Amino acid sequence: MQNEIPFMSTTQVAAAIKSNLITSRQVLEILLARCDQYNHQTNAIIYLNKTQARARADAADLALANGEDWGILHGVPCTIKENNDWKDTPNTLGDLKWKNRSSSHNEVMVDRLLSHGAIIYGKTNLPYHAMDLQSYNEIYGTTSNPWDLTRTPGGSSGGSVVSVACGFSPFEIGGDIGGSIRTPAAFTGVYGHKPTFEVIPKRGPNIERVAKEISVRGPFARTAEDLKLIMQCLVGEDGPLSRGYTLKLPEPTKKSLSEYRVAVWSDDVAAPVDDDLVQACETVASAFEKAGAFVDRTARPDYNFTMKNFKMYFTLTAAANTLNDEPAVREVTLKEYRLALEEREEIRASWERFFEQYDVLICPSHSTPAFIKDESEPKTARTLACQRNGSTVQLPYFQPCWWAFLTNTGLLPSTTFPVGVNSKGLPLGLNVVSSEYNDYICIDVARLLAKECGFRFNPPPGYGKEDLKKTSRM
């Protein structure tokens, strides 16, 4: 049991604790030992609070012995992203001017994790202001991809995905405004879910009270089932701020892949996609067809996404950044902001019409697999190598974000799932997208793809079960 803990699912760990097969304190010590052994290689976890975590784990064990049940995460240890507000812990966003900044109290999402019994023991790395395709900053340094330490795990939730992929934490919480959940999940072969806008409250002492345009919080895990479990802990109305309505996400009704109508968008001139990922899309499309599903490889929404949504995205995010004096591309007038909101509604309407015909869309998270780390400045001068028809082409660094903006600007839910590795041994990940509030449908399709087709998480080489016996510390 002890040697299996680092790669057990959240559901399995919670069940083992509640069944008295292992204690919360024992699980915590195993994960801390795992961090001691491997974290120096990847620099995923940049803050630990062992004392508080051990005290809470002991309290969880005592409560269980007295017949108390704190919730579905009772006694389950985990890490969270550095910019999540957790009382009396650093919240610097990797910015030296905030080096000594901490959180005065928990954000809503963290309170919900704790209310369900989670034991938070550390925080994970991110890029400066959580705004990059890589995860490095002047305070905490660089996080590396465990599949290839010369490559990035992505950003901005790079530390989050490495914590999950390496068996430091059974689940994690990241954020996404331009692919910061989906790209890192794809780069490291884990599951990630970018929720529908505002279904998970994003409010805390270092976060604006009015939700930042497009930006969301969301979970990472090693199974699709765990994504849903964590979502069930986090989703809900934000108290008095949402008085007058009840949020209830639709449950999936289809029992197999054969029942789905699937659109596949594997490549686009606006953001060319690496051959391996185009092939991965085709592999998944063929798997759907073999299962009996209807698949359309040419279906597209009736909206020109080539450039218009790019402009709208940058207008809304630039306007939002001014709230906290964060770096902005430019100043935005009230008229520009209002017109961008109108454009967003056009996009949402287009997607709604699209999803009247199709249940889900399969598309890439990013144009390439994980790329070699590049911390040169300015960022806009960087390029990414992309294999196109067997030849290497260089893409502008931020061009692949088009795939994130494609669905972000429509506020759509999107689940990233693993589709094996390429010839270089790098993970390949794709997205399941559906209409707004169909979060659990996206997650369930990822679950069915694992169940029926074998597309599931595998540990990075050197971090798997063959190494687990080395990490126990009781």
Query: Which pLDDT band, with edges at 50, 70 and 90, does 212 fall under?
Result: confident
- What burial class does residue 238 get, using C-beta atoms within 10 Å of its C-beta: 0-12 exposed, 13-18 middle, 19+ buried? middle
What is the C-alpha to C-alpha distance for residues 135 and 19, in angstroms, rounded to an integer? 38
Specify the pTM. Answer: 0.95
User: Residue 327 pLDDT more than 70?
Assistant: no
Query: Which pLDDT band, with edges at 50, 70 and 90, does 245 fall under?
Result: confident
Query: In the 8-state DSSP scheme, what is residue 273?
Result: -
Q: What residues contact residue 354 under an 8 Å CB cut-off, 6+ apart?
A: 263, 299, 300, 301, 302, 361
Active site residues: 81, 156, 180
Tokens of 129: 């202001």
Residue tagged 């960022």 (tokens): 379
Which amino acid, residue 409?
A: T
Mean pLDDT of 326-350: 86
Residues shown for the chain: 474
User: Residue 424 pLDDT more than 90?
Assistant: yes
What is the C-alpha to C-alpha distance for residues 104 and 12, in angstroms, rounded to an integer? 33
pLDDT at 470: 44
Tokens of 273: 């996609």
pLDDT above 70: percentage of residues in the chain? 95
Contact 361, 263 (CB under 8 A): yes
Mean pLDDT of 219-237: 97
What is the C-alpha to C-alpha distance for residues 116 and 69, in angstroms, rounded to an integer? 9
Mean pLDDT of 417-436: 98
Q: Which of 361, 132, 134 is nearest to 262 (CA)?
A: 361
**Which parts of 213-273 are beta strand (E)?**
216-221, 261-264
What is the C-alpha to C-alpha distance for residues 367 and 397, in angstroms, rounded to an integer? 10
pLDDT at 474: 25
Handedness of CA 144, 150, 154, 155 (dihedral sign): positive
Q: Which of 117, 21, 122 is nearest to 75 (CA)?
A: 117
Model confidence pLDDT, tens digit, residues 143-157: 999 999 999 999 999
Question: Which domains are seen in the chain, by residue range?
Answer: 2-470 (3.90.1300.10)
pLDDT at 211: 72
Helix (H, G, I), strand (E, B) or coil at 377: coil
What is the C-alpha to C-alpha distance for residues 395 and 392, in angstroms, rounded to an integer? 10
pLDDT at 241: 63
What is the C-alpha to C-alpha distance for residues 109 and 131, in angstroms, rounded to an integer? 21
pLDDT at 473: 32
Contact 406, 363 (CB under 8 A): yes
pLDDT at 472: 35
User: Residue 82 pLDDT more than 90?
Assistant: yes
User: Residue 321 pLDDT more than 60?
Assistant: yes
Tokens of 54: 């051990």
Mean of per-residue pLDDT scores for the chain: 94
